[in-house]
């Protein structure tokens, strides 16, 4: 059994390195001169959620509320997000994308997708099938099922 444990530890370390590097590469293809990768992540979350609160965004990004307040201030100054009072709770702030913010997210996603497609275009059909199978395995192994 010690051999299996060592193999699992080695595989886990390699998988962690690969996921970290690939995540950084993909993030670099969505960031632009206008926003950082972490700012893009906030914008992309807002594009999916349509609106959020600074607290929810801070939790999502794993940062403190003061850090998120600074991030949102920069995004608002750039005209990418809008903050407004919550209609039911005046103590809460709602954050939404502006049209310019939505365009930036869509352009970033298109750039990332084009880069990834170009990488997949450079491999054989058999390798693409192997990646398809590996993707399914990774999803089953790493992504918890949604209730």
Model pLDDT for residues 28-39, shown as the tens digit of each residue = 887 677 898 889
Confidence of residue 1 (pLDDT cuts 50, 70, 90): low
Distance in Å from the first CA to the final CA of the chain: 35
In this structure, are residues 44 and 105 in contact, taking their beta carbons and an 8 Å threshold? yes
Q: What is the residue extent of each domain of the chain? A: 2-142
Q: How far is CA 80 from the centre of its chain?
A: 17
pTM: 0.77
For residue 95, list its beta bridge partners: 52, 83
Report the C-alpha gap between 128 and 119 in whole angstroms: 10
Instruction: Give the domain 2-142 fold.
Output: Arc Repressor Mutant, subunit A (1.10.10)
Q: Which residues contact 147 (CB under 8 A, 6 or more apart)?
A: none
> pLDDT digits over 27-80, tens only?
888 767 789 888 999 999 999 999 999 999 999 999 999 999 999 999 999 999
> pLDDT digits over 12-24, tens only?
999 999 999 998 8
Report the C-alpha gap between 45 and 95 in whole angstroms: 11
Q: What are phi and psi of 125, to 5 degrees?
A: -60, -40
Confidence of residue 147 (pLDDT cuts 50, 70, 90): low
């Amino acid at each position: 059994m010690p051999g299996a444990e060592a193999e699992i530890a080695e595989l886990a370390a390699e998988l962690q390195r690969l996921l970290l590097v690939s995540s950084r590469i993909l993030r670099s293809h969505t960031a632009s001169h206008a926003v950082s990768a972490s700012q893009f992540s906030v914008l992309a979350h807002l594009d999916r959620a349509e609106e959020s609160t600074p607290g929810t965004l801070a939790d999502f990004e794993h940062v403190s509320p003061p850090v998120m307040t600074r991030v949102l201030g920069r995004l608002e100054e750039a005209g990418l997000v809008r903050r407004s009072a919550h209609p039911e709770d005046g103590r809460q702030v709602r954050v939404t994308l502006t049209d310019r913010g939505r365009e930036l997210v869509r352009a970033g996603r298109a750039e990332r997708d084009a880069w990834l497609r170009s990488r997949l275009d450079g491999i054989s059909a058999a390798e693409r099938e192997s990646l398809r199978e590996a993707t399914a395995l990774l999803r089953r192994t790493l992504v918890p099922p949604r209730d």
